[in-house]
Amino acid sequence: MNINPPLISSPCIGQCLLGPDKICIGCFRTINEITSWNQVDDETRKVILYTIENRKINSKSGYKVSLDNNSVTN
């Protein structure tokens, strides 16, 4: 049994807010990827990291965030 802690840390950058596409504007993860992060192994984490890198590349990157009223617009 492997009891070593996972080596890949969370990509969370503390800007947690889901955009209109239900993707976090800070780390580009879905809510399922965010909530399952602590339960998955490093191989799954690598897949998630690869997926979020592609989301960053393919995003329209035009989100406007207002922290005053927790809103996100395109």
Going from N- to C-terminal start, the domains of the chain cover 11-61
Residue type at 11? P
- Rounded to the nearest integer, the mean pLDDT of the chain is 82
Give the pLDDT confidence of 6-42 residue by residue, as tens digits.
689 999 999 999 999 899 999 999 999 999 999 999 9
Measure the CA–CA gap between 52 and 30, rounded to whole angstroms.
9
Measure the CA–CA gap between 25 and 30, rounded to whole angstroms.
10
The pLDDT score that the predictor gives to residue 66 is 47
pTM: 0.72
pLDDT higher than threshold 90 for residue 61: no
Q: Where is pLDDT greater, at 68 or 47? A: 47
The sign of the torsion formed by the CA atoms of 25, 30, 35, 38 equals negative
* 72 Cα distance to chain centroid: 16
pLDDT higher than threshold 90 for residue 47: yes
